[in-house]
Amino acid sequence: MKFLKLIMVLLAISLSASLLAQDADAPRGTRAELSTEQLDELVRRSYQYVAMFNVNNKMALDETNPLSSGGYNKVKANTTLADHTVEAIARPNNDTLYTVAMIDVTEEPIVMKIPAFNSTYVSLMVTGYDHYVNIPMSTRQDDFDEPETILFYSKRTPGYEGKPVEGIDRIIDVTGDFVSAIFRVMPHANEPERMDRNIAAMESIDVMGLSEFLEGEKVEVDFATWGSPPGVRRNLTLREDLARFPEFGSDFEIFEDRLLEVMQFVFNHTTFDSEDELDAALLVLYEPLGVVPGQAFDQAKVAVLDGEAVRNAAERVAGESLAKMQDTKFIEDNITRLFLPKGEMDFDLMVLQSITGPIGQPASEAVYPPLNTEAGTPMNAMNDYEIVMSAEDLPPTNAFWSVTLYDTEQGFFIPNDSFKYSVGENAGYELDKDGGIRIVIAAEQPEGLPEENWLPVNRGDYDIDVSMRVYAPDLERFAKWKTPMARKLN
């Protein structure tokens, strides 16, 4: 593994050297002439950051996103399951409730107050622009039985270096200045009183600056109070908050129109480790393009990229990753190696997860096996399909599972009048008398099939795909379990 990482760094250095050589006598602002191989390498190295720049900023700042917190250092409890209006992220789930807290530690540490929950499954996932996934709390780790208070800071947060603070239970050194802190909560919809208690807990999660947390308390702490009034970051208008960032959009749009601007912003707000092979390769790659950490973006001082060629490379790389999701052997070999913390992620898998569906959880919390067809060909909305599992074939979970339908091109839910996008305990399902289940993807509800087990599709010539989610999986059993296949019916 270390040898492979070394090879990747050497490839990045080779690309960097090529750029330096071709532009050695040229001023900044000169067009960078890149080969197809070099364009692909640039895209692959950048994809995790482009994807998460879009995801995190859409979660904080996109007023068209129903999950959005409405700004940084704000919290939004989404107390209904996501529907087809959610387009901020590819392949969102439709089986847990989300509370979205968007954290900005550029001016001071941020404190989060978390209540106790009464749910079989709750997790807190923290992710910056680098797309390394951290799960500091989950019911699987015996958390959420008692209230907790967490402090977030980064290496760039002024006036604080990680020392203990009275009243703070956990201190998290995040790798980015702008991070998402997302709670997934199993609502227990079949138990109304329990569901109400969990929703109340979701709605009580709050964030504040450390100065506000300490206000009126005589506590000795190594923290220099910031220069703005306490809580000002929570009082910014959406327009004021948006103005601090390059414009977000689709991944392909960023690659075509403003890759270097976005990457400069990312570089300035991300902690890089010179000893980390992937970090080193990225920094070496971008230096000859005029992008290095700690400087303001200046269009006149960076290389000029062929935006159309970069976008074509991004579409090519994305197509390759989506094709891998049809490879059953590849999925079996790698399904438990996704969404890991820094230092544990394989580079090729990082690219894949950034394209196919960012910010999932590691296998200790959830696994996401795609359901492919018996023939090994992509599913298409011109056809109907069935997925059949006996009681013995059901996913090996210690919490719950679901099956969710998407359009392949964008990874979004397929709009339908029933607002039905997944089958599972929370979105609804009905087991047969023997404890098994038959799920059908069809334009019309099949006769005799429970409505809960029907995934509606709009008839048309476009590809669709199905993802299963298995929360708190029994990984020992999962290693021997066979993912069900979809069978074409017509």
Q: Are residues 134 and 212 in the same domain?
A: yes
Kindly state whether residues 45 and 169 are assigned to the same domain: yes
381 with 319, same domain? Answer: no
Tokens of 438: 């038959």
> Could you give phi then psi for residue 414, rounded to 5 degrees?
-90, 120
Q: 30 is in which domain, residue-wise?
A: 1-325
Based on the domain organization, do 132 and 20 belong to the same domain?
A: yes
Q: Quick one: average pLDDT of 468-475?
A: 97
**Residue 409 belongs to a domain:** yes
Residue 448: give its domain's CATH number. Answer: 2.60.120.600
Q: pLDDT per residue over 172-206, tens digit each? A: 999 999 999 999 999 998 899 999 999 999 999 99
Domain membership of residue 360 (yes or no) is no
Q: Is residue 184 part of a domain?
A: yes
Do 15 and 162 lie in one domain? The reply is yes
Does 190 share its domain with 275?
Answer: yes
Q: How far apart are CA 86 and CA 163, in angstroms?
A: 39
Residue 23 has pLDDT above 90, yes or no: no
Q: What CATH number is associated with residue 1?
A: 2.60.40.1610
- Phi, psi angle pair for 482, to nearest 5°: -105, 125
Does residue 387 fall inside a structural domain?
A: yes
Q: Does residue 338 form part of some domain?
A: no
Question: Do 103 and 159 fall into the same domain?
Answer: yes
Position 24 scores a pLDDT of 43
Spatial CB neighbours of 480, under 8 Å, sequence gap ≥ 6: none
**DSSP string of 206-224?**
EEEEHHHHHTT-----SBP
Same domain, 289 and 389: no
pLDDT in tens, 440-468: 999 999 999 999 999 999 999 999 999 99
Could you tell me how many residues make up the chain?
Answer: 490
pLDDT band at 220 (very low <50, low <70, confident <90, very high): low
State which of 273, 290, 325 marks the end of a domain. Answer: 325
Q: Is residue 363 part of a domain?
A: no
- Alpha helical stretches, state H, 24-154: 36-61
- Asked whether residue 158 falls in the same domain as residue 52, the answer is yes
83 close to 183: Cβ distance less than 8 angstroms:
no
Q: Are residues 392 and 270 in the same domain?
A: no
Amino acid at 274: S
Among 305, 325, 345, the domain boundary falls at: 325
What digits encode the pLDDT tens for the residues 264-302? 999 999 999 999 999 999 999 999 999 999 999 999 999
Q: What pLDDT does residue 6 have?
A: 46
**pTM of the complete model:** 0.89
Of the candidates 296, 325, 354, which is a domain's last residue? 325
pLDDT digits (tens, 9 = 90+) for 418-429: 999 999 998 999
Residue 70 maps to a domain: yes
Backbone angles phi, psi at 151, to 5 degrees: -115, 130
Tokens 């006598």: give the residue. Answer: 25
Number of domains forming the structure of the chain: 2
What integer is the mean pLDDT of 240-265?
Answer: 96
pLDDT, one tens digit per residue, over 90-130 is 899 999 999 999 999 999 999 999 999 999 999 999 999 99
**Alpha carbons 315 and 309: distance in angstroms, whole number:** 10
In order, the DSSP letters of 235-255 are G--HHHHHTTSPPP--HHHHH
Amino acid at 404: T
Structure token pair of residue 96: 């847990």
Which string of b and e fits 105-141 if b means at least 16 CB within 10 Å? bbbbbbbbbbbebbbbbbbbbbbbbbbbbbbbbbbbe
Q: Is pLDDT above 70 for 7?
A: no
C-beta neighbour count of 480 within 10 angstroms: 7
- Asked if pLDDT for residue 371 goes beyond 90, the answer is yes
* Shared domain check, 130 and 1: yes
Using CA atoms, how far residue 357 sits from 93, 336, 413, in Å, is 10, 15, 13
| Domain contains 120 | yes
Contact 378, 408 (CB under 8 A): yes
Shared domain check, 376 and 251: no
Query: CA-CA distance, 288 to 374, in Å (whole number)?
Result: 48
The residue-averaged pLDDT of 345-351 equals 98
